[in-house]
Structure 1
């Protein structure tokens, strides 16, 4: 049975490139370090959210990809927006967990860093996105060995079928300190690309 839901838009951030709906909109071949790259990309899109610079790497990655998708929706930020978030990755918040552990073991620090500790759950990045766009709906962060398009498709379609949200921001946000890969997409009741496992995989590989 075909899905009644559609992929409205999608964003991919990987290999020093940012693409929106299949078109590269930012490319930095000179910057190899992730943090330098993501900050430069953030500034190039004139994104105004000062807290971005305090986020951990995973949250920066998820936030920028989400922002590029959601800014196109022209949401009313004075009202609550009924958009669910369904994210996934492989490493959870391991990069930040390791930094937190290092701060605990550092004998020069009497207290571990609260600025690091606050990001020791992968779903904290969902909170950052929800705060800016006033998203008050279902949210989940799943951990898989690899990108699981079938689960994302089934779970999100079920969520929307149950009217628990009007739309859903879904995808894969992987960051391990060096390698990174964000592929997020917005699922809606209107569009041209049916929200199925195969179509998700096709867009992911675009």
Structure 2
């Protein structure tokens, strides 16, 4: 199956995870890391100590009981990873009827979306999908990407994020802004950041940024290189 690639904004969204085993714990943490406003966890077992840090967060609710269809009320996204195939399938069916995004762990054919393998460096996220045909290959590709995309990409992205509002405040034409950003990403800036070569970074920024922003360069680089 060929999936439509999409990144979902979970800000102000409520999410439900049914099943708090090893897989469920990873899913819960990933939802919290992605900014979910609230995460409800349902499991028939009492939470173990590995969930202590998660349960201390104010936006997490743990319910020690069986799943009920009413638990889906108000949920934007649902992940089912119980040990019961029948329960997982039931959750999938009801979510489909209600138009709720649903993922059944390790059963892409019963899911309305899958969670791709991913590599993260700061705000940079690289997602890999094999259409559910080979998770092992996806993990292999992730390993290769981790070797190719180091933390210098995170630092470069942070720098670009700081530069962007300063450029917009200059109220230049779109084509002028585009030219500056293209010049930056096509320069040796990434290599200079990777090598912690502050002098080269400063030189590249002075060559690329409009003169009114040159005074901002020290604060842009504070703690970055």
TM-score normalized by the length of structure 2: 0.24
Larger proportion of helix: 2
Relative contact order higher in (CA < 8 Å, ≥ 6 apart): 1
Larger proportion of strand: 1
Larger Rg: 2
TM-score normalized by the length of structure 1: 0.26
